[in-house]
Amino acid sequence: MKIETLPIGLYGENSYILHDNGHVLFIDPGRFGKELAAHVNANETVDGILLTHGHEDHTGAVDDLYDIYHCPVYLHEGDFDMVNPSFGKTSFATPVYAPLTKLVPGKMQIGAFEITVIPTPGHSKGSVLIQYRNRVFSGDTLFAGSIGRTDLFGGNETEMVESLRLIKETLSDDLWVYPGHGEATTIGQEKQTNPFLYYLKAELF
């Protein structure tokens, strides 16, 4: 398994390319589809494009990559309206014209990859964590030392708190976290040092 982290999206968004045994997933391709495609070998198969949520800094290269590979594009249905061309532009979101497939909570088989989809609304209605083996792509839900905003379209502070509680109480400390912005971290590290998790008390809920 190989994960390439390319912070080439708007606002330094991390575009990820996950390679494993000749198969590839694009995760949150933010911009410059042709540049991202240059990281895929001719003998590799692109199984899909996965989106942790629908904000434009995570989706900007989707249509270009779809035109190249004609692979499925996966997004939680909670953010379908956000990227729907007929819905109109919303805060930090632009239309995606490629056909969308629903990311369903729980285990999903996408080509050669068995992933686990963990809904974490708060930053947006359709925000999810995407886990593959011991790696979690957290989008803008969880960062190293911080969390995502809740004041954008689809954001909800109460839902974010509930999602953070889910992360703190159910995810293993040894999971590596690849966030939408900034450096990689681990769940254990965030439980110890991220104030939004560290000070999260069960009695508050």
Question: Domain locations in the chain?
Answer: 2-204
Beta strands in the chain (DSSP E): 2-6, 15-20, 23-27, 45-50, 73-75, 100-102, 106-110, 113-119, 128-132, 135-139, 142-143, 146-147, 176-179, 185-186
* pTM exceeds 0.85, yes or no: yes
**pLDDT for residue 74 is more than 90:** yes
68 strand-pairing partners = none
Provide the mean pLDDT of the chain: 94
pLDDT, tens digit (0-9, with 9 covering 90-100), for 162-204: 999 999 999 999 999 999 999 999 999 999 999 999 988 654 4
Write out the two tokens for 18: 């996950």
Token pair 């992360």 is at which residue? Answer: 167
Give the angle 128-134-140 at the CA atoms, nearest 5°: 30
- Class level of CATH domain 2-204: alpha beta
pLDDT, tens digit (0-9, with 9 covering 90-100), for 25-69: 999 999 999 999 999 999 999 999 999 999 999 999 999 999 999
Write out the two tokens for 39: 């990281």
**What φ, ψ does residue 161 adopt, rounded to 5°?**
-60, -45
**pLDDT for residue 115 is more than 50:** yes
**pLDDT for residue 136 is more than 60:** yes
